[in-house]
Amino acid sequence: MKTALPKVMHSVGNMPLIEHIINLSRQISTDIRVVASETLKEHAEFMLLENKYNFASYIQEEQLGTAHALQCAELENIGSEYILVLYGDTPLVTYQTLNQMIERAKNSNATITAFGFYAQNPTGYGRFITDHEQNLLDIIEEKDAAPEVKRIDLCNSGIMLIKTSEAIRLIKEIKNNNASGEYYLTDLIRIANDNAYSCSYILGDEEEALGVNDLAQLARLEEIFQNRMRRKMMSEGVILIAPHTVHFSADTIIVGGSKIYPYVFFGAGVVIEKDTEIFSFSHIEQSKIGANCKIGPFARLRPNNVLSGDNKIGNFVELKNARLAEGAKASHLSYIGDAEVGKNCNIGAGTIFCNYDGKNKHFSKVGNDVFIGSNSAIISPVNIGDNALIGAGSTITQDVEPNDLAIARARQVNLKGRGRKRG
């Protein structure tokens, strides 16, 4: 990848590649085992994933091949009937495909069931050797393939479902007498057939098998993922004016009836309720937005915002750790940070919540039906009571009682004849 970040910690849809696979695995089993290099195991973001999902991880100290990696996962104490082998850099495989593999294995009583696909360009992939009854006889890696095998376009994704009891015994028979000098998991197919065990396969989409070996491939996966999300959103009733211009995260949730205008970016942790409109050039992350809101254009919602509904966040408004009750609005050119704003409040243009004193962040609370005049500075921490009115251009440093008018600005003085003189 030519970056300092371990490959599987690069992101698609603002989620690490390996987290896609962990989330997928959790739909199938609670016994998730990740085989990692020592560098990955010690990476801070990987350790966060370990704590978040509570999976078991094992170090493969020497990179001796896929079969060796599987052996590192302590197969002897697996209690389930099958072992499902997935790869941390193939985030596009779907639950439907894996479930199809499971059903095929049960119906055929196959010892090993593999996921294969027809490739437009099979170069680089291992090839399936099959018969006419959908039995899988062998998988031959490209490096070891004869010219006639290389002409086969039925290719190996690497994903396998293996009966646990047979896997533990058969994997010990794998040798490393191949072009790479590695222990190939694919050799398990030939060994199983030699021991009179049946092997089968399912056919899937090539896109699901795509992995990552460089940044160009990562960008290609991002493109495929975004197109999937766009189709998913529209199928659920989300209106996308220009779908190809909207960027989603893997966990973006938008309820049908909402409308997304061109050039909107959704970072991680965004939930949007029904009938909300997100206007162009808005950037939203880690925010919960209620129903019937209007956001943007050119709005930025940084982490930890909650908008209760019927809110308006207009152009060049920025929110961070803000909670807005129903009907509250900031129509333009304002910053609301570390604050709670009550119902039906109006935050005037140019208002700034000054939440940072150079050392610590401070929180302010605004009551219901408050009007804050344009170009005001709210110096946190302060409380502004219900029905209060803040005069335009005020700098508020003290609490404002309910129903009060607060004005905190220098008195205007007009000096006669002191204007610009001409001629």
- Does the N-terminal peptide bond of residue 381 adopt cis geometry, omega within 30 degrees of 0? yes
For residues 70 and 174, what is the distance between their CA atoms, to the nearest angstrom? 12
Quick check: 123 and 142 in contact, CB under 8 A?
yes
Type of residue at 135:
N
In 93-244, where does DSSP find H-type helix? 95-108, 147-150, 164-170, 187-194, 215-235
Separation of CA 121 from chain center = 29
End-to-end CA distance of the chain, in Å?
A: 70
Q: Which residue ranges make up the annotated binding site for Mg(2+)?
A: 89, 213
Out of 20, 43, 247, 332, which one is annotated catalytic? 332
Residue 270's contacts (CB-CB under 8 Å, 6 or more residues apart) are 249, 251, 252, 253, 254, 284, 285, 286, 287, 288, 289
Q: Which residue ranges make up the annotated binding site for UDP-N-acetyl-alpha-D-glucosamine?
A: 7, 60, 65-66, 87-89, 126, 141, 156, 213, 302, 320, 335, 346
Q: Which residue ranges make up the annotated binding site for acetyl-CoA?
A: 349, 355-356, 374, 392, 409
Give the Å distances, CA to CA, from 198 to 75, 131, 166, 316, 364.
Answer: 21, 12, 11, 63, 68
For residues 126 and 123, what is the distance between their CA atoms, to the nearest angstrom? 9
**Strands 154-163, 112-118: parallel, antiparallel or unpaired by DSSP?**
antiparallel
- Does the N-terminal peptide bond of residue 122 adopt cis geometry, omega within 30 degrees of 0? no
Residue 362 is among the residues annotated as catalytic for this protein: no
- By CB atoms closer than 10 A (0-12, 13-18, 19+), residue 414 is exposed
Q: Which residue ranges make up the annotated binding site?
A: 7, 60, 65-66, 87-89, 126, 141, 156, 213, 302, 320, 335, 346, 349, 355-356, 374, 392, 409
Q: Is 196 left (phi over 0), alpha (psi -120 to 50) or beta?
A: left
> What phi and psi values does residue 102 have, to the nearest 5 degrees?
-60, -45
Residues with a known catalytic role: 332
